[in-house]
Amino acid sequence: MQKYKNMQTHLLTIGDEILIGQIVDTNSPWMSQQLNLRGMSVNGKSSVGDTRQAIIDGIGHAASNADVVIMTGGLGPTKDDITKKTLAEMFDSDMAFHSQTFEQIESYFTKIGRTAPPAMRDQATLPVKATILTNKVGSAPGMWFERAGKIFVSLPGVPFEMEYLMTAEVLPRLQQRFQQRPIVHRTLLTAGEGESNIARRIEAFEDALPAQVKLAYLPALGQVRLRLSGTWEGEVTPDAETQLTRLVEAKKAELQALIPDLIYGEEKESLEEVVGKILLAQNKKFGTAESCTGGYVAHLMTSVPGASSYFPGAVVSYSYEMKEKLLNVSPDTLQHFGAVSEETVKEMALGALDTLGLDVSVAISGIAGPGGGTPDKPVGTVWMAVSDRNRTIAVKHVFGRDRMKNIQLTGTYALNLVRKFLLGQI
Amino acid sequence: MQKYKNMQTHLLTIGDEILIGQIVDTNSPWMSQQLNLRGMSVNGKSSVGDTRQAIIDGIGHAASNADVVIMTGGLGPTKDDITKKTLAEMFDSDMAFHSQTFEQIESYFTKIGRTAPPAMRDQATLPVKATILTNKVGSAPGMWFERAGKIFVSLPGVPFEMEYLMTAEVLPRLQQRFQQRPIVHRTLLTAGEGESNIARRIEAFEDALPAQVKLAYLPALGQVRLRLSGTWEGEVTPDAETQLTRLVEAKKAELQALIPDLIYGEEKESLEEVVGKILLAQNKKFGTAESCTGGYVAHLMTSVPGASSYFPGAVVSYSYEMKEKLLNVSPDTLQHFGAVSEETVKEMALGALDTLGLDVSVAISGIAGPGGGTPDKPVGTVWMAVSDRNRTIAVKHVFGRDRMKNIQLTGTYALNLVRKFLLGQI
């Protein structure tokens, strides 16, 4: 029987720019997620500055609790290569010119239409004891050292270079080295309901989950991702992965059946992509008439490549006058019910159909804040309406007091309303 | 003479959610910046999980190189209070009910219209050896311990609670304890030019800066913040701060005079706030006609509270038809020059003035990508025009291949174009 070990990783970032707070470290969360998805754990993270002693202390501390230390940063040509030199020193390694790396760097520069500057010879001078990880998307290669059964990997800090090297070189090697138990993930995407309300609706399902399947709630503004993770716990037979996949898929189907009204997609789709796909499939033109969101929903929709096939345009009508002139809202309606009202958003949605030549529209009017609230209509009150001319459905939400959050939450709720309308779920 | 010490801080985050990559740590960069602004340094950061041993090891490691350890996270009522209990154990402290904290929590819940749940009694049970830092914006108080000349601070991980406690309690105490040399910062905000081009224009200025004044480049997409930081280096006389302020202000004025065309504001203003202030001061109505940015510029403008006084609306015209119908662009122009052309954006800008009833408009048409590029007009090509009817000025930019970056860069460049137009700089 094979031995499966729960591999522990420490992530170490090297560079003063992290310590002075100049950049937010998005590398570590990405690496953690990728390792976790493959059944490997991160049990510590740390950051040190660009000095020899800080790097030596940092690596020593990192290795004290982990099997693998993954370092990022400190490899650029302008930084005196302090990381590389310190690693060579720590691993008692000479440095030598690595012609294969230099050729790789030269071909990379050729590809982006430039000539490799002289400093690149230094980039290709590397510790001879390291296994070199070829960087096809930048100039600094990765390095892989081993000592006393532990692995030390050094990667550049530029996010897409780090991501390339992790995906192409580091993760496959780690998976090969530390045979992990089969692990299968499935993610369902929900919108329009909070974590605790979802938890209440699926409590019995969650309680009845077998021990080898875990459910994680991954919340964002107005959305919660539900991730089912199955880990094979018995002897690893040839069909273990197939069996595990079948189990996780079955649990996913159960979960879907419990909250079909909340689920808008799977895995990595965005709500705006899902709405775009439905519009394409139904061959419908969609657009927005926005007051308090000020164009944010149009921006979301048009952030998807190819949106021009189903999104001809939008109107941002911040003033009464624009609501009347561009969306044909009646002055009486505005006068009588106010701009933030069921009546006004319905007229805005109908007006947008005509003005923009749409099959389906969504209209939004609300009080984003911080000013403008009244006892009747406090800050955070938002009316939205979806219409295809035959049917016009309006709903009201009361969000919070933060202007940007109100705008973003409204965007999510409005797109989810459109999705349900298109699918005939409302 | 007083003794000035370069205080070293270690930032320690506690919580599994950081290790599994579920959240990006924005607390640490914020804390680093705030400490740096006051002349205090961060020489290390680390993250550990929610277990007693990990916390003990983490604090031990943190304290080995630092005078002050600031911990965040692990204080919520649902987490078994493992951090609090571990701290009590490490500092040989009993726990006791702290009635002042409980009253604070009760009054906080009253303010948000709820009753404090029973678990809050645990939140108010605290190590007796800690100085309690009152949290006026949440339920978990901060704790301040001292041992062997070192300071250990524990704060909640919720960003706005952490920021409140740092600002109101921690930073003032640290400043009092570690008398820092006077330090003065001034920041100038630039748009529309890259870091290296700015560096070339101000090279002589930078080389001639006195030793006690440093210049930092803080780049973001399409913008660079230039921060001058002066540190008093001589004996700290009563007028040291005044003298230092005078020196930094003089350098700021020199820098302003070198690149007046690039500077849009100072300190923490955003470009959209600056444009809004100019519009208010000039009593002008402004709006946008957007194709490739799809409402993003309107969204930026309306993210500023009070934008309704100068921003009546916008048109997103993704299709040819909408450009013709809503912005009165001539079909001949579209046919002859294409949607991404000087002629089209000029007509769009003029059309927007009429349609939206504006004094000033900006129009944008480009190829955001990834598709739609041609040899003549590659992905990233963007035309924009600003107009007040008397003058219409169009410019072309060629950005990169990433759709979202192209949209965001276009937003920055378009708002900067409007700013210069309003100020008569173009």
Q: Which residues of A touch B318 (CB under 8 A)?
A: 302, 307-308, 311-313
Longest dimension (CA), chain B: 83
For B314, which of A49, A61, A295 is closest by C-beta distance? A295
Pick from B143, B147, B125: which is nearest to B134 by CA?
B143
Pick from B187, B185, B186, B190: which is nearest to B259 by CA?
B190
pTM of the complete model: 0.87
A288, A364 Cβ separation under 8 angstroms? yes
Element (H, E) at B12: strand B8-14
- Give the chain A residue whose CA is nearest to the CA of B315: A315
Q: Could you tell me where the beta strands, DSSP code E, fall in B22-67?
A: 41-48
Inter-chain touch A21–B43, beta carbons under 8 Å: no
Complex ipTM: 0.86
For B312, which of A290, A321, A357 is closest by C-beta distance? A321
Q: How many residues does chain B have?
A: 426
pLDDT tens, chain A, 426 aa long: 345 667 899 999 998 888 988 888 999 999 999 998 888 999 999 999 988 999 999 999 999 989 999 999 888 665 556 899 999 999 999 999 999 999 988 888 887 777 887 778 888 999 999 999 999 888 889 999 999 999 999 999 989 899 999 999 999 999 988 877 888 999 999 999 888 889 999 999 999 999 999 998 888 889 999 999 999 988 889 999 999 999 999 999 999 999 999 999 999 899 999 999 999 999 999 999 999 999 999 999 999 999 999 999 999 999 999 999 999 999 999 999 999 999 999 999 999 999 999 999 999 999 999 999 999 999 999 999 999 999 999 999 999 889 999 999 999 999 999 999 999 999
Q: Do the domains B183-266 and B8-177 match in fold?
A: no
Q: Which fold has domain A8-177?
A: Molybdenum Cofactor Biosythetic Enzyme; Chain A (3.40.980)
Pick from A334, A296, A329: which is nearest to A314 by CA?
A296
Paired with A45 in beta bridges are A11, B47
Inter-chain touch B19–A43, beta carbons under 8 Å: yes
Inter-chain touch B316–A317, beta carbons under 8 Å: no
Question: Which of A11, A16, A47, A53 to probe the B interface (max B CBs under 10 A)?
Answer: A47
Secondary structure (H, E, C), B111-159 = HCCCCCCCCHHHHCEEECCCEEECCCCCCCCEEEEEECCEEEEEECCCH
Q: DSSP state, B78?
A: T
Torsion of CA B108, B110, B116, B122, to 10 degrees: 30
Q: Could you tell me where the beta strands, DSSP code E, fall in A209-368?
A: 213-220, 223-231, 263-266, 286-290, 313-317, 360-366
Inter-chain touch A302–B315, beta carbons under 8 Å: no
Q: Which residues of B touch A370 (CB under 8 A)?
A: 305
Q: CATH code for B183-266?
A: 3.30.70.2860
φ, ψ of residue B311 to 5 degrees: the values are: -125, 85
Enumerate the domain spans of chain A.
Answer: 8-177, 183-266, 271-422
Determine how many CB atoms are found less than 10 A away from the CB of residue A155. Answer: 27
Query: A271-422 belongs to which homologous superfamily?
Result: CinA-like (3.90.950.20)
Pick from B206, B217, B210, B216: which is nearest to B246 by CA?
B210
Distance CA A361, CA A112 (A): 43
Distance CA B377, CA B380 (A): 8
Question: Which of A23, A45, A70 to probe the B interface (max B CBs under 10 A)?
Answer: A45
Q: Which residues of B touch A65 (CB under 8 A)?
A: 57
DSSP SS3 for B6 = coil
Looking at the predicted structure, is the pLDDT value of residue B81 above 80? no
In chain B, % of residues over pLDDT 70: 97
For A19, which of B21, B32, B314 is closest by C-beta distance? B32
Distance CA A335, CA A352 (A): 20
Q: Which residues of A touch B296 (CB under 8 A)?
A: 295, 299, 302
Distance CA A203, CA A208 (A): 9
For A21, which of B36, B57, B356 is closest by C-beta distance? B36
